Amino acid sequence: MTRIPLKQALGIPLNVAAFVLLMALAWGDPRAFFAHPVRLAMTALLVVSAPVMTLCTGGRSRGVRHAPDHREFFPLLVSHTLFTAVALPWMDARGLWVLPGGDALRWAGLVVFAAGMVWRLGPMIELGPRFVSVVALREGHRLHTGGFYHAVRHPSYLGIFLMDVGFAGIFRSPLALLLLPLVFWMFQRRMDVEERFLLGQFGDAYRDYMARTARVLPGVW
């Protein structure tokens, strides 16, 4: 069994807990935040994600070879995460700049968020320690083209996009929808880095894989 670094064992659950705590505090009344079944179910899904990310992945391991991200990627990712955790619940609780639809929109958002969780966590379970949050190859890394990776090359990013749309519905946020092009741009640049890196590692095998799969959505992108 692969030994999990202490930083990963503590860091991932604490990050998830901090994200949930920020949402509850931004709402203004933690008890009221968790009283709504949609927000409670969203929280439960986030809590479930913590052990999957902790136990099933390689965390931030750089393996035997890695490629640097664009300098702006992680600062933008952190900023977007904080915006989601603080601004969205704060505005929803006060009825500021919210979409119409009430609880029907919240429930629809939860369904999309849950689908995003499946596509986000499924690849982690499938790849195990080969799944890391940096662009890297672990020792003995093989090209994986089955399961979640059968039709799309970046199923985990599809999960992130769906989760963002889900958050927009759960918190009735038009601003979250307006920020989606920025999220797409961030991860498009990340995918560019990954694909160049994997082409350098796997050559024609990865080039053939690219030719028969979509990046994120079959027939669209």
> What pLDDT score was predicted for residue 22?
98
Instruction: Write out pLDDT tens, residues 19-75.
Output: 999 999 999 999 999 999 999 999 999 999 999 999 999 998 888 889 999 899 999
Q: What is the mean pLDDT of residues 77-83?
A: 96
Instruction: Write out pLDDT tens, residues 184-204.
Output: 999 999 999 999 999 999 999
Q: Where are the domains of the chain?
A: 66-212
> What pLDDT score was predicted for residue 139?
80
Q: For the residues of 58-106, what is the DSSP string, one character each?
A: -TT--TTEEEPPPTTHHHHHHHHHHIIIIIHHHHHHHT-S--S-HHHHH
Residue 65: beta bridge partners? 137
Q: What is the mean pLDDT of residues 112-121?
A: 98
CA distance 216 to 3: 32
Collect all residues with Cβ–Cβ distance below 8 Å to 52 and sequence separation of at least 6: 121, 124, 125
Instruction: Write out pLDDT tens, residues 133-166.
Output: 999 988 878 899 999 999 999 999 999 999 999 9
> What pLDDT score was predicted for residue 140?
79
> What pLDDT score was predicted for residue 93?
98
Query: Is the pTM for the entire model greater than 0.75?
Result: yes
The class level of CATH for 66-212 reads mainly alpha
Closest CA to 162 of 217, 112, 203, 219: 112
Q: How far is CA 91 from the centre of its chain?
A: 22
Question: Under the phi-then-psi rule, with left for phi > 0, alpha for psi from -120 to 50, and beta for the rest, what region is 101?
Answer: left
